[in-house]
Amino acid sequence: MKVEAGHFSGWSQGARFYPVLYLITRMGGAKDWGSGLPLKANLLGRRSRLEVHHIFPKARLYAAKALNFRKPEVNALANFCFQTKETNLKISDDLPEEYFPKIEAAHPGALASQWIPNDPDLWKIDRFRDFLVARQELLAVELNSQMEKLLHGDTKWLLNKPTVRLEPIPSLYIRSTDEDEDEELERINGWVATQGLPKGILAYDHTPSGEDQQIAVFDLAWPQGLQEELSQPVAVLLNEEPEIIALASQAGFRCFTDTTTFKAYVEREVLNDGTESDKTDFNSSTF
């Protein structure tokens, strides 16, 4: 039963240990970085709703082209923590090396309470991959500690050999198709901008209305539509599982699984002021 760092090597809100991260945040001594208050539900009252916060902001990681960060790294479980909505908005797109010192000065111990490595060199964007590995270790230590408390010190259940082996960071996070996929999504976004339309959100975190947590990451999305309030939400989902496509469709997104079909939709129904009622079933790649 003993947990090791490799258990926290997944990515996205669909990762097996994503609920575990939420659990240890609520059960342990994790503190909100804006207020310094513990994130235990019974202590926050009306502010108890938490949001997923990317410790290293998605936009900044994707913008660091020379470092070649990919979606599974950007949305790595070890890059997630939970904060109140107010704090999440306040931090915005600042890098850890910019906002961590401010948090520690205002609320000493708040960083450590969320299992942040205390080496400032790891807070720099060019050390992001090393940061992930270090935080995986800290998360594993915390979970083992909490399980030991639940077992009232009966550690025999934690002495078994771990079942997950920690692999080098590239094999954990990089799939052979990711580079081509990410480049294609960037091209789609660039093409949309040349049409005078707003760019979509890369790696969009989807949170259903009325829910507390994001439950999926969509490759590229326009949650307000390509023409805000005039067209339905749109998502481009490349090489995604059917479950993700179905989830997006159920949430009201019009989904496209290839570039050609998406562009045809934009040209026919958006640029030509087509109405949403005049929908054409281009092929099986639109849902």
**What is residue 275's predicted lDDT score, i.e. its pLDDT?**
46
pLDDT band of residue 172 (cuts 50, 70, 90) is very low
Distance CA 147, CA 151 (A): 6
**What is residue 157's predicted lDDT score, i.e. its pLDDT?**
55
Distance CA 75, CA 173 (A): 10
CB atoms inside a 10 Å sphere around CB 100: 19
Helices (H) then strands (E): counts for the chain: 12, 6
pLDDT band of residue 164 (cuts 50, 70, 90) is very low
How far apart, in Å, do the first and last CA atoms of the chain sit? Answer: 42
Distance CA 280, CA 266 (A): 12
Using DSSP, state whether 112 is helix, strand or coil: helix
Spatial CA neighbour of 203 closest among 47, 74, 35, 56: 74
What does the pLDDT look like over 239-266, one tens digit per residue? Answer: 887 888 998 999 999 999 999 999 999 9
The mean of the pLDDT values for the chain is 81
Per-domain residue ranges of the chain: 5-173, 178-270
> For a pLDDT cut of 70, what percent of the chain falls above it?
78
What does the pLDDT look like over 30-67, one tens digit per residue? Answer: 999 999 999 986 555 555 578 889 999 988 998 999 99
What does the pLDDT look like over 61-106, one tens digit per residue? Answer: 989 999 999 888 998 999 999 998 889 889 988 999 999 999 999 9
C-alpha triplet 33, 43, 81: angle, nearest 5°: 35
**Beta-ladder partners of 222:** 234
